[in-house]
Amino acid sequence: MKRTLFDDEHLMFREAVRRFVEKEVTPYHDQWEHDGIVPRDLWLKAGAAGFLAMAAPEVYGGLELNDFRYNVVLTEELTRAGASGVGFGLHNDIVLPYILTYGTDEQKQRWLPQMISGEMITAIAMSEPNAGSDLAGIQTTAVRHADHYLLNGQKTFITNGINSDLVIVVAKTDLSAGHSGVSLLVVERGMAGFAHGRNLDKIGLKAQDTAELFFHNVKVPLNNLLGGEGQGFYQLMFQLPQERLSIAVIAVAACEAVLEMTIKYCQEREAFGRPIGKFQHNRFKLAEMKTEVEIARVFVDRCITELNAGNLTAAEAAMAKWWTTELQKRVVDDCLQLHGGYGYMMEYPIAKAFLDTRVQTIYGGTTEIMKEIIGRAMGF
């Protein structure tokens, strides 16, 4: 089925991204997996190429590409290259919208130029050791004083955690107000009491720096409050659909990539004198995966169109996130099975894809939370 989501400008952008990935990412990604982090130099190169904060207005040095399809192109090309350590998606798809939507003119002038250039790498800190999906359960506090908030707490599982220079921190500014007591504070590298913890050892996404963050009596200026005090929970709920759609984009692109490599493998690998794809069971399994991935592609592309039009609902984003990531788990597992013993060897890309895939149904809201969102939208 011909894909009709993109215009000529997006196709030209894809070619530019693909060349960048082939030159600046693919040759080095194995080393980054070993190192557990992507070098900051890559961010500067991406900024110079125009691949960071593309939606930022021209007045701040951005391209003003306020079209999520450009984000999709970048994500798809990185995913298909197996470049799971490159944290551009978090920077572009998740953090930037908070700055653009809730930031003051002064905040935008202060942060956007460096976000665009790659000099300032961003992160968002929601999860804590004792609070994941339940944002109301966070224990990080921010007590207001004359000209600052005093921030105390700990965050974990933070993508771009080691490299991050600017972190949107979810904190409680009013312990008695429940959801209405949550605010978003922007913490910057170098603030006294702000510490980057260890780079967490994960089963997959090895090149992605995922870290703990610590805040001990950090004096966060009042003008680093993002949006209104007590508005944090509602800001998060408004922005989370795009984050979840971004994860769905990764899921479908990953499915397509592993299916393509597996079809090729099944055409070349022989058993009992013929390609293994010729056996009915294998052929049927490939046919099933091809069909389901095509269905997922159509739905996610529709969600992208709805997001661009401002019509994507939280429930629809949840549908896309849970179904495509669960599909990704099944497809990658079945594709590894078709590789046989070689699928268990790290020299084959399918093995890395298997490890990278597992977290997809967890971060950004677990499958169970996604179903809860959909169920409540149905009136239950």
> Domain 8-120 carries which CATH code?
1.10.540.10
Q: Domain boundaries in the chain?
A: 8-120, 123-229, 233-377
Q: What is the pLDDT of residues 38-80, one digit of tens each?
A: 999 999 999 999 999 999 999 999 999 999 999 999 999 999 9
* Angle between helical axes of 349-357 and 314-339 (0-180°, round to 10): 150
**Is 233-377 CATH 1.20.140.10?**
yes
Active-site residue (options: 33, 77, 229, 243) = 243
* Domains 123-229 and 233-377 equal at CATH topology level: no
Position 136 pLDDT exceeds 80 = no
The pLDDT assigned to 209 comes to: 98
Mean pLDDT of 173-183: 89
Reduced to 3 states (helix: H, G, I; strand: E, B; else coil), residue 38 is coil
- Which residues sit opposite 128 in a β-bridge? 131
The conformational region for residue 217 under phi > 0 = left, psi -120 to 50 = alpha, else beta, is left
Q: Note if 58 is an active site residue.
A: no
Token reading at 213:
């963050």
pTM, entire model: 0.96
CATH superfamily of 123-229: Butyryl-CoA Dehydrogenase, subunit A, domain 2 (2.40.110.10)
The pLDDT assigned to 179 comes to: 84
